[in-house]
Structure 1
Amino acid sequence: MGSYVSYQHISPSHQAYIANISTNVEPSTYEEAITDSRWVHAMNQELHVLKDNGTWNLIPLPHSQSVIGCKWVCKIKYKSDGTVERYNARLVAKGYNQTVEIDYQETFSLVVKMVTIRMVIALDVAESWPLFQMNVYNAFLQGDLLEDVFIEIPKGLKVQGETPMRKYALELLVEAGLTRGKVALTPLECNMKLTVAEQVDGKATKLVDLVEDVQQYQRMIGKLLYLTISRTDIAYTVHTLSQFM
C-alpha cells in the first residue's frame, strides 16, 4: 500500500482527521447503538425533537392500511481538525419498501445540489465573507403532509402504558398456565365458527361441560377484554369468545 498511498504530504491536522474517522466506528443497528451511552443520548434527543414538533400521533393501525418500517441511522460529525463534534442519530422511514403508483405518487428530496454548494463557496471566497455551518434538526419535517402516513413504532420509543400492559399479559399467561404455550400465527383459526354447543363423541356438549371452571373462563375473558385496549390484534378473537360467557 505504501507504493500507492502516502500521507507524507498531508498536514498534521489532516492526518489527525483521517486517523479519527478511521478509528471511530458507527453502529449499523439499534442493538449496537444502545450499548453506548453517547448514541443513546443522541437517539433520545432525536425522539425529543420529534415529540416537540408534533411529528406523529400514536394510534392503532387502521384496517386496510399498510405500515412503513423505520430504522436508526447513526453518523459521527467531525470538526475540521478531526475531533468529534457530535453523535448524530436520525430516525428514517424505510421508503425503499414502497411501490410507486401504489404507495406514493411522487417524491421530494430536500437535498442541495453539489454545483450549488461549489458556487456558494466560490462566491464566499471571492467576497471574503465569513462562512458558518448550522445543523437544523428534522429539517425534512418542516412541512405539512397532505396524506396520512403510517409507520411502525421506532425502537427506543417508550410508549406510555406499554410496560404495564406487558406485565399484565405475562400475569395472564401464568394464571392460565400457558407460559410454555407455543406461539400461534393467528389468534383464531381462519373460517372457524364457534357455537354454544359442540359435538363430542356424537353428543351435543354445552360450554359448561367443556370447561372445568366456567367462572375462571369468564374471569379470563374479562381480563383479556381489558388487554385489547393495547393489543388490538386480539380484539376480534376476544370479542368472539366473550359471546359464550
Structure 2
Amino acid sequence: MTQGTNEEFQALVTVTTDPTCYSQAVGHPHWRDAMDQEFNALLHNNTWQLVAPALDMNIIGCKWVFRTKRTADGTVERHKARLVAKGFNQVAGEDFFDTFSPVVKPTTVRMLLSLAITHSWTLRQLDVHNAFLNGHLAETVYMNQPPGYEDPAHPDHVCLLQRSLYGLKQAPRAWFKRLHDFLLTTGFCASKTDVSLFYYVSDGSRVYLLVYVDDIIMMGSNPTLVNTLLNRLATTFKVRDLGKPGFFLGIETIHTSAGMILSQRRYMNDLLNRAGMTDCKPLATPASTTQAVTPSDELFDNPTQYRRIVGALQYLTITRPDLSYAVNRLCQFMHSPTVDHWAMVKRVLRYVKGTMDYGLRLSASTSTSVQAYSDSDWAGCPVDRKSTSGYAVFLGTNLISWLSRKQRTVARSSTEAEYKALADVAAEVRGLYPFSVS
C-alpha cells in the first residue's frame, strides 16, 4: 500500500468512526461527492428559500452526518452524506407540535412474509431516496445555511424550510402523512390493526405495502399489479427497487428452497463488539433456572451501559423468541441495575455468542389457520409476587408472534394468572385474524 493510499484509507476510517467529522470528509472524494449529491437533491426538492434573518426568529443549526452503508456481509455498498437539522434547538409550540410517526409492527412483517412464502407471492424491497424531503412542513422553521455550501451572494441569510429535513422533530410525521395521503389517493386502504400497513384489492388480487420510515416492502399475488403500483409510486417519489428483500431493518433474509430464514447475525456481532465480549465463552442457556432474580445492594457503576445493551437485546428478539423471557427479566431492572443484573446480561450475551447461526425460519405451509398457546406462572417474582405471562402464535407452521411479560397486577390464584395470559393472546389473535384468512 502506497503512502497516498494509506492516508486516504485513514481518512475513510476516521469519517466512518466519527459520523460528524466534517473536516475529514471534505478532503475525501467519496464523501465530497456524497455531499454534493445531497445538496443538489435539497435544491431540486425546493427544501428551503433564503430570507434575511430577524431578531424574533428561532434559527436552528445544521450539520453534515456521514455514514458508510454496508451489505449483509459487511462489505461497503456506498458512502452516504446527509444534512441534518439540529432539532434539539426547536421550541415546542413554536416551530413544532406533534412529532410521532408510526412504524410497522414486527409481527405484521413476519405474518405477511409467511403468507407470501405460503402463496408464492411476488416480493419487492423498496428504498425511498431522501424520504424526509418529501414531507411538507405546516410550521415555520428557520435554519442556518449548510456548512460549506453558503450562498456567496447572501452569506448572512437563513433558510426558511419548505420541506421537512432530517433531524427536525416533526420530520418523520410529515413524511408519513405525505406517503399516507398519496397511497390513499392511489387506491390503497390503511389497515385498522397496523397503521403502517396498506393494502390494495383489485379483481381478487391483493397487494400489501409495509412501511418502516423510508424502507418499504411490497408484496402481492399478481406480479403485474405489483409492477403497476410500483410505477405509480415512482412517479411521485424517487424509489429504488432492490428486488427481493435481502437486508431489511438490520435483518438479513436468507432465501432457501423451503422458504426464508430471518437472521440478525451481523447485528449480534455488532452487539457483542459494543459490549466488549467478542471473545467470550459461549453458554448453552440464556438464563439460570435455579437462581432467583432479586435486587442486591451493590449497584452497577455504569447504568447507562446496562440500559444500552439491554435495549439492543430487545431489538434482537425480533428474530429470536428464545431470548424473550431472559430479556424481559433484564428490562425490569432498567431503573437501578445492580452487579448481579449485569452478570445476567453477560450470561445472555454469552448465549448469543454460542447461537450466532440461529434465526427464524419461515416456510411454505399447507394451512393458514392461526394456532395460539399461552402459559403463566403464579407469583413467580419474589419481589412483588406478580406473575409472568407468555404466548406463542403460529400461522400454519410458522411462528409469527410471541411475548413474555410480567402481569400488571398481582393474581390471587393460578387460575386468575392463566386467564390474564389467555386474554393477552386472544387480543393478539384478534388483530391477526383478518389477514390470516387472506
The structure number with the bigger radius of gyration is: 1
Say which structure, 1 or 2, has more relative contact order (CA 8 Å, 6+ apart).
1
**What TM-score, normalized by structure 2, do the two folds share?**
0.29
**What TM-score, normalized by structure 1, do the two folds share?**
0.50
